[in-house]
Structure 1
Amino acid sequence: MDKHKILIVDDEAIFRKGLRKMIESSGGPWEVAGEAVDGYEALERLEALRPDVMITDIRMPRMDGIQLQQIVKERFPELLVIVLSGYDEFTYVQHSLRHGVKDYLMKPVEREELFRTLSELEKELSRAEAGKSATADSAPGSDPEIRKHVSEHLITGLLRGYVSEKELELLSKIGVQFNDPRFACLIIKLDKDMMDRDRYRKADPSLFQLYIQQIVQEILNQRTNGFCFVFSDSEVVALVNLKEGEAAAQSLSDISETIRIRMISLSNLTVTIAQGTIVDGIRDIPRSFNEAKIALLYRLLLGGDQVLTYEQTAMAQTIPAEVKPWSWDDLESSIHDGRQEETERRVVTVVTDLCEQSKNPETIQQQISKLLIYYYDLAEKLQVTKLWLQGKSMQNVLFDICSITSRSELVDACRVLLGRLARSVEEGRKQQDSDPVDKALRYVSRHFREAITLKEVADQVYLNPAYFSTLFKQRTGKTFVEYWTDLRIEEAKKQLSYSNEKIAVIAEQTGFGNIRHFNRVFKNVTGSTPNDYREQARSVRQD
C-alpha cells in the first residue's frame, strides 16, 4: 500500500527531528517526505513534493503559519493541514480553524495525541480516495470531534490560566455556555482500589473514564452550566458555572453528592470527588483547580467514596502538635526564602521530633503527608512544582514516603525532598528576577504582616506607582490592596485553625491595626467572624 506523504514545517531542527521519529514509529501508512524551516521554504517543498498532509508550527520567522495557511488554502485546496501551538497561541488556532485546518497539536507533542490525529487523517484520506469525502468548502471546525477537541483545549487553558475572556466567545459558538459569574472545579477519580480486581482488569480503563464523564455531564446539564471531560487516564475534571449568591455553595455540594450517589446506584462504582472553592470570574479558575488537586491528595489519608472539599482539607493541614511551633515557623521561613542548607537542618529537627514523640506509625505518616501537601500547595503558588518534583506526581511522592519504615530513611528522604524545594524556590526566583510583578509578589509575600504601601512595593521594583498599580491588576486580576488583604486573611485563617492565640494577638501578627478592623475585613472576605471560623475549624478537625 502506498504511503501518505507528510511535510513538517518548523523553525526548530530538534523539534522537526523528534516529530519525524514519532511519525515513523507510528506503524501507519505515513512517510515524512520533507521538512521546511518557514513558510517560504514550505511553499517550495509543497510544489516539489505534493504531500498529502502538512504539519506546521504557527510562529516562525519570515512567513508564519497563519500566512502559510492562507496561501495553501488557495494553491493546494486538497492538502490536509495540522497546526502546532502552545497555550498562549490559541488566538492563532482560531484563525487556523477558519482557514480549514483539520486539527491542531499542543507543543510539546504527545505521542498518543499525534497517533490519534494521524489515525483520523488516514480515515479522511481513505474516504477522499474512495470519492466519499466532504467538499472542500465545508465549514471549518464543524466536525463534532474537532468541536470536542477545541472545547477541551479551551477548558484546559482556563484551568491552567492560559486562556482569556476573549476565547470564551469561541466556546459559546461551539455550544459551551458559561452565563453565570462564578466557577468551581471538580476532579472526579475512580476508586479503582475499591473495585473488584477482575472487573477492572477485564475492561478497558478508558471506558470507565468515559462513563464517569458522561454521567457527570448529564448531571451538570440538569442542574447548571458546566463542562466535563476526561483530563487524564485516571481523572475526570468538571468546570461548574454557578449563579451569584449564598445558594452557590449548597448547589455545588448537592451536585458533588449527586455524582457520588448516582455512580453507586447506576454502576456500583465509587468515586472520590475533590472540590475547589467557588471563585468569581475566569481569572481565579486556576486557583479552584489547584485547590481541587490538593483536596484530592487527602484521599490517601481519608479514604475514597466521598466528597473532599478544599476548605475542609485545608483546615486538616494541622501543624503537628508534637512538633515545637518554632521548628515549624523556622522551617517555613527557610523554605520560602530558598535557603537549602538551613531547610535541611530544620527538616531533620522537625521529623526527628515527630518520630520521637508520636504514639504510632500511622500518626507519623499522616503528619508527614499533611506537611508535604502543605508545601505542595506553596510550590503551586510559587510556580516551582515541576522544578521541585522533577516529573513525579505528588501522589507518587506521598506513596514513596509512606512506604518507608526506617526512621533514618524517613528523615533523610524528607530532608532531601524539602531541601530540593528550597533550592527550587531560589532557582525559580532567579529565573523570574526580570519580571517586576513576580518580584513584587515575592516582596509582598515576605512582608505582608507589615504596614506596606503600594508606593513602597513599586519602589522595590523601580516602577512608577500608578503604572505599577495598573500592571499589578492586569497580571493578578486584583488590586494591590486586595492581594495584600487576601494574604493576611489566609495567614489569619491558619492561625485561627492551628493555634490558641487570642484573636487580638492574631490580628496584630497579621498586620491589622486593631481588632475591630480585623473583624470587619475578615467577615467581608470569608463570610464568618474570626471566632466562628475558629470554632468551625476545630469541629472539622475533631470529626
Structure 2
Amino acid sequence: MENLKVLIVDDEYLIRNLLKKRINWEEYGMTIVGEASNAHQALDMVDELVPDIIFTDICMPFIDGIEFSRMVIEKYPEIKIVIVTGYDEFEFARKSVKLGIADFILKPIRVSELINVINRLKKKIYEERDRNKEFEKLKQEFKQSLPFLREKFLNRLILQPLPEQEISDKCTYYNIPLADGKGNYQVAVIEIMLPKEEQTEEQSILLTMECRKKVETFFHDTENAIFTDGKNRIVIITNDDSKNFPDSCELLKTNLINSYKCFVCIGIGSKHKKLSDIYLGYKEACHALNYKVIVGKNQVVCYEDVIELGKQRYYPNEDLLEKLHFYICAGSAEHAGDVLNKILSRPFSNISQLRLAAMDIIMQCQYAAIEQRADEDNTINKETLAAILLSDNLPDLKKNLEEFVINLSNSINHKNNVKAGNLVAQVKDYIEKNLSDPNLGLASTASAFYVSPGHLGRLMKKETGQTFVEYLTNIRLKKAEMLLKTTELKGYQIGEMVGISDPHYFSILFKKNLGKSINEYRNGNKL
C-alpha cells in the first residue's frame, strides 16, 4: 500500500522543520511530499501533488490558513486538513469546523499528540477509500443489473395497474420509449414453440432468446419496449402509430418461421390511451394468444377479432380458473363442478363470449390432464371438444362442460388412487424386507420412497386403516408369534430379528398386545 502524501504549509521555517523532524513519518505510512511558506505557493503544490493530508498554520501573509483551507476543500473535498494553532487562536480555529477541517494540533507540538492526529487521519482516509471502493463496486453492480431491473419493471407494468406518474418516471429512468404522451399503447405477446420431439426446457429458452434478438432487430426503428414475460414469451409494447401493428406482426411471424424451425403464435391486444392501462392490453393479448387452440399454429390473433365490437368485453376470472385447475388435478369432481358453475354464472352478451369462456375452461382441463398424465389415457378427444364448441346456448354448454370436467376429474382421481395403492404395496414389501432394522420408521421409509412422512402416513391410514406405527408394530408381533411357534430362539433373539433390540421393551409390547408373556405364549402355542 502506497504511503499517504503529506504537505506542510507554514510561514515559519522552524515550525515546518519541527513538523518534519518530530517523528519518522515513514514509520507511520506517510511521506512528506512538499512544504510551502504561504498559501499561494501551497495552492500550486496542491494542484501538482494532490496530497492526502495538509498541515497548515492559521496566521500567514496574504491568505490565512482558514481561507486557504476553504479554497482547498472546495476543490479537493477528500483532502484532510489539520490546523496548527496556538491557544490564543484556538477559538478562532474552532469556528472553521464548518469548513470541513479534519483536526487541530496545538503549539507547541507534542509528539504524542501529533502521532494521535496522524493515526486518526490515516484510519479515516483508509476507511473512506474502502467505502469509495465499495461504492464504486456497488455502482458497477447496479449498472450491470439495470437490464434486469428494467425487465422486472416491465413485467410489473403488464401484470398490475400502476400509477400513471410512477410508470412515466420509471420509463424515463430506464430509457423506455413509452412516456412521450402519444397514447395508443398496444401490446403483443409472442409464443415460440418447438416441434414436440425437440421441446426441452433449455431448447425453448435458447430459442426464445434468439427470437427476441430477431424481434429487436425487426423493430429497431420504432418506439417499442421488447422483453420476456414470466412464461418465456416475448412481449412487445408499442406506442408507434406510423405503422399498422398487426401487419408488422404478420411480417415478423413469417420472418421468425423462415429463420427458425419453430411454430409462432402472436396475440395482440386492443389500443389503450393511458400508460396505466397497458396491463389490460397485455391481458387481452394473452387471451387472444390462447385462441390459438381454435385457429391453429402460426397465426396472428387480434383481441378485437375474437370479441364482438361494441359489446361488453370478456375477461376471464383468473382466480376461479386456477381453482378449477387445482380441483381437477386433485381429482375432486364435486368441487370442480361447483367452480365450473361459478365461472359460467356470469352474464354473457353473445355466443362468442360463451365459447371464449369454454376455451378457457378446456385449456385448464388440458393443463391438468398433461400435469397428471391423464392425456396418455386419451381423456380429451376431438368429439368432446367439438360438442362443447358447437354448443349454441348456455344450458347445453354447461351440460357438456360439466360432463367433460367431471369425467376428467374422476379419471385423474382413479389414476391417483391406483398410484397410491401401488405405493402402499411397495411400502409393505419394504417393511417385510427390513423388519429387523431397529431404525425402521415412518421418516426413514418415506425417505426411501422420496415422499413426505405426512403424505405416506395419510396413505397408510387410508389403505390399511392403521397408522404407520400401528401397522409396523402389528407386522413385527406377527413375525414374533411365528418365530415363537416354530423355533427355540430366546425372546431377546426374536426381538432383535423383528427390529426390537431392547428385550424389556419387547416383553412389555408383546404382553400388551397379545395378553400373555413370551414364555406363556410359547408354552401354550408350541406346534
TM norm structure 1: 0.35
Find the structure with the greater CA-based Rg: 2
